[in-house]
Amino acid sequence: MSVSVSNVNEGDKCPDFDMPASGGRRAALKTLKGKPFVLYFYPKADTPGCTKEACAFQEALPQLGHIGIEVIGVSKDKMPPIEKFAAKYDLKFPLASDFGTDVTERFGAWVEKSMYGKKYMGIERCTFLIDAKGKIAKIWHNVKVPGHAAEVMAAAKALG
């Protein structure tokens, strides 16, 4: 089992991505050129922590939209569970499927985890704030859900 080490740092150019997303959309870097956005990685759709995180971003969406920030959630779930999750909680922002973990690995979010002494590979809950020039403005690793969306919003407002 390999441990993913992020080669992506604040100030770096955002790695390219193009993934299918909820609502028949695509989450692609090329469609976001010139716009700041939030890309957050979550372990699994419709689990307690991921639900709280998605709902917090949904709640912050009007304020983030007001300052021109789009939000995209990414997991390795296939599209049917992602669509069900988005519909269940009326999530308006795109939830993207990185089933092959290609994008997740590029961002360094595919990491070795451990539960009950068993090691396995999974998605680290992390968030990337990308500025309008396509550079990574801020990275949060090992995110704790309570208060995270507000923290991201504060950093997004500081982008100017």
> Residues 6 or more apart from 98 whose CB is under 8 A from it?
17, 19, 74, 75, 76, 104
| Residue 56, CA distances (Å) to 12, 64, 80, 125, 155 in order | 27, 12, 22, 14, 16
d(CA 153, CA 99) in angstroms, rounded, equals: 28
- Whole-angstrom CA distances from 156 to 60, 69, 74, 140, 149 are 11, 7, 19, 13, 10
Q: Which residues contact 105 (CB under 8 A, 6 or more apart)?
A: 4
50 among known catalytic residues = yes
Mind telling me the catalytic residues?
A: 50
